[in-house]
Structure 1
């Protein structure tokens, strides 16, 4: 059946989707709190033992300058005109000053929200279970692996004839690689609620779910997510919770741990204390390996069934695409047609939500990222969406709960656009005859 033209923009079904999200998110179970030694922030965001907080670093106007800063191992949270915002603890901040960087401590925005504004991982799993029970012909779930602490990592499948592995293009959404980015997990709940409540009611969405298979991994980093909120105060935690041998530092940055150009180019750190620590080897983190194994498992008859992917992050309101490890627009495995296709779809999606579209390395170099691996290793058109807000002043990693419905539904049209082109992404540059002929 031919796809419905997208010549118009319908009103979104926010009320129905949000109602279902609330209905699905059942009561939480008890979860372990972080150790009592975890520092508590003061009113201005500082901590008694100098734990991580945000600073503005001035005098950085180019991607090369931003890359040099990132190579120190500090996490770049936000790129501004002529400056960046980073997360650093007191020792890292002092080291940056010793290197000649000018740092201004920023007031904490953590008080803009409360941990209870966001679903716990137990509530996420309950929402998944309820959706499977309510829509057994449309939704299924499976455990694809465990985190370091033994928490189940779940993949949700949404499609008509969900029990069958049909020969249809597949779309993957991954959420919550970085623990403190809770809005991304809310995005997963929104998609689950919207896809289920609107199947059969929204003709366009219904057609996509009849002709594609959708996968949602609601939280790639459940241990980190839980740790970040369980004490009742946000911890600004980014990494997973795996101890590092020979170090007191905990955690690997999952989005520097992927097995494509891992550690190649100064876009990650080899220091376990760094926020961008890439781990001792590619896919060393059990969470990374679980998702990578799942994606590799979608190769059927020698062909990768997943054609498109979004990895959801916060914040800055960006649509990003590969490669991140090089400034070049084209590189091995990324032709000019590939680059043009990435840019065309990325720009089209950004036009629906008001985000800024660009190649990932236009910000600064990163290596070992999921997008580079998805494309470079698996041939999947993979994007990063950096969600609301645009700045730390608007809430940063912890925007208030009253924006969740607005900011998740804001991405509905972009998601539908990705679903539309999942059968042949090259169609967006008019090259379907060359790349997608039967």
Structure 2
């Protein structure tokens, strides 16, 4: 962890004069009960009072582990910072004239109570006995119980859940990630979403929200149409407990005493997107992120109630600032305590305008992965009594579902090679926003969330001719489909003119070939070379529906698949994709085969 350097100490001493701070003041000792020092660390929680708004903002620029800031009347007025410091840092700050008040470590105090409950029911080590479904939401799980519940959830829902370890903590505990999808072990051309929680081991409300949402989605899949649509069309990932060592030991930090939410590459202080030399928990999430292309996500915290978005590391606004606000308000509108916040307008804040940090997770996602992620502060208390979790669930359930639904909208499509139909690893620029995203290299799919408006999209890839698409219209909570075929450089067919085609959903779907073939309607605005084929879930072509040697006339066409492979054998039950290439555009539709 960072400590106050001697140069900072000199700087702070100068503040006594330049900012008119009072002489060194030590607050009267508080009755704080148990030792407030965090496990694996020499730090403890304090409140730091500043006598002017300028002094407060100056504090935020220092290398102290800040937790939250309360502006009494706004950022131009004096306020209080909650932070975690050691004795040396405290002495330096007090010498510079800041008033330091040591406060109870409420998270640690609650953890000690919970730890005794775990011991009493024999829950510290596997095997453990999980509660019946009716008694599930009654107490904080131990780590062993959490692992048992996640494994039982995966065992009970093999067609919906994939459970993996993204790596192990300092002390060797697995960091579990669960994917919910209608094809959980197969990557599909679908947008990806991520909820993670408890990178600070004593901030646990989000962990419980993730666990409840995992159960909620599996319980209601196939029953609730909106839940079924979400799971069928989005690859949803959960990491309920990012810092298991911190959770087991009741501390903010990992077992090396490091705040992992200050350990990520940072655009300002550490512009090096390299996991080497970082904490294991940080490295594992980074490598997990490299393997995925998330459209949207949220990492859950406690100690405040607000949705926080980039930048944390600089006061500038991102190109997606207004979009961040729109998505945040979609969440907070459904969460009354956030929407009605008296501290944050409608329950959201631009990170640095609350307080500046470096090495935060959300800035790494945005800068290097080009993804939209929030820091979601869900409870003012870091480790609340479990009796409050039903209330937090009722406040966050609909909001979490709404946030996941967001990735069903925006501009979506597949970028493919115009000759082979294979996915292209392309960059996508929206001229009006100034931010570049990438396609998923496995499928060539992408999803760009945007506020309503009209945009210009530019597609580029190494070895391909660029494609520009003008007048792409985005409307509120609707999907605009934009599929693009890219022509290799030097190809004798030249650069194709963009053709906007329309392909209907397949009918019937699901299909049983014994009862008839599946049909799709294709509208061509002009004559084009048309290729159509059927692909299995692994991306292998099993049937050709239309060769592209001759021009296909403009107008409406019907594509028919009788459920057979190219060899004439019946295709087995499962998921298939009908992919169409028309000139410079590619479209795909999913078909469920039932025999």
Both structures adopt the same fold (TM-score exceeding 0.5): yes
1:377 aligned to 2:368?
yes
Find the aligned partners of 2:54 and 2:236 in 1 and give their Cα distance. Answer: 35
Kept in 1: contact 2:65–2:84 (CA 8 A): yes
Greater Rg by CA: 2
Counterpart of 2:142? 120
- Per-residue deviation, residues 210-244 of structure 1 (Å, max 9, x unmatched): 1101000111111121121xxxxxxxx212113xx
Question: Matches of residues 289-438 of structure 1 in structure 2 within 5 Å?
Answer: 289-298=283-292, 304=293, 306-330=294-318, 335=319, 338-353=320-335, 354-355=337-338, 356-389=347-380, 396-423=381-408, 424=410, 426-430=449-453, 433=472, 437-438=482-483
Tell me the TM-score normalized by structure 2. Answer: 0.54
Q: 1:402 to 1:58 in 2, by over 3 A?
A: same
1:259 aligned to 2:258?
no
Which of structures 1 and 2 has the larger relative contact order (alpha carbons within 8 angstroms, sep 6+)?
1
- Per-residue deviation, residues 234-276 of structure 1 (Å, max 9, x unmatched): xxx212113xxxxxxxx221111112326359xxxxxxxxxxx
Instruction: Report SS of the residue matched to 2:374.
Output: strand
Instruction: Report SS of the residue matched to 1:352.
Output: coil
Find the aligned partners of 1:296 and 1:67 in 2 and give their Cα distance. Answer: 36
Counterpart selection for 2:85 from 88, 101, 107: 88
Instruction: Report SS of the residue matched to 1:290.
Output: helix
Tell me, which stretches of 5 or more residues in structure 1 are unaligned?
Answer: 1-41, 229-236, 243-250, 266-279, 299-303, 390-395
1:182 aligned to 2:199?
no
Find the aligned partners of 1:78 and 1:340 in 2 and give their Cα distance. Answer: 23
What RMSD, in angstroms, separates the aligned Cα atoms of the two structures?
2.9
Question: Matches of residues 6-85 of structure 1 in structure 2 within 5 Å?
Answer: 44-47=32-35, 52-59=43-50, 62=53, 65-66=56-57, 68-69=59-60, 71-81=62-72, 82-85=79-82
Q: 1:375 to 1:145 in 2, by over 3 A?
A: same
Kept in 1: contact 2:453–2:473 (CA 8 A): no
Find the aligned partners of 2:36 and 2:377 in 1 and give their Cα distance. Answer: 31
Counterpart of 2:95? 98
Residue 292 of structure 1: how far off its partner (Å): 0.9
Residue 311 of structure 1: how far off its partner (Å): 0.5
The aligned length equals 350
Find the aligned partners of 1:148 and 1:262 in 2 and give their Cα distance. Answer: 27
Q: 1:84 to 1:287 in 2, by over 3 A?
A: same
Residue 78 of structure 1: how far off its partner (Å): 4.5
Find the aligned partners of 1:192 and 1:88 in 2 and give their Cα distance. Answer: 36
Residue 134 of structure 1: how far off its partner (Å): 0.9
Instruction: Report SS of the residue matched to 2:327.
Output: helix
Find the aligned partners of 1:48 and 1:204 in 2 and give their Cα distance. Answer: 46
- Per-residue deviation, residues 411-432 of structure 1 (Å, max 9, x unmatched): 1222122222113263444457
Kept in 2: contact 1:185–1:218 (CA 8 A): yes
Find the aligned partners of 2:372 and 2:246 in 1 and give their Cα distance. Answer: 27
Higher strand share: 2
Tell me, which stretches of 5 or more residues in structure 2 are unaligned?
Answer: 1-29, 73-78, 118-138, 339-346, 411-447, 456-471, 475-479, 484-595
Instruction: Report SS of the residue matched to 2:202.
Output: coil
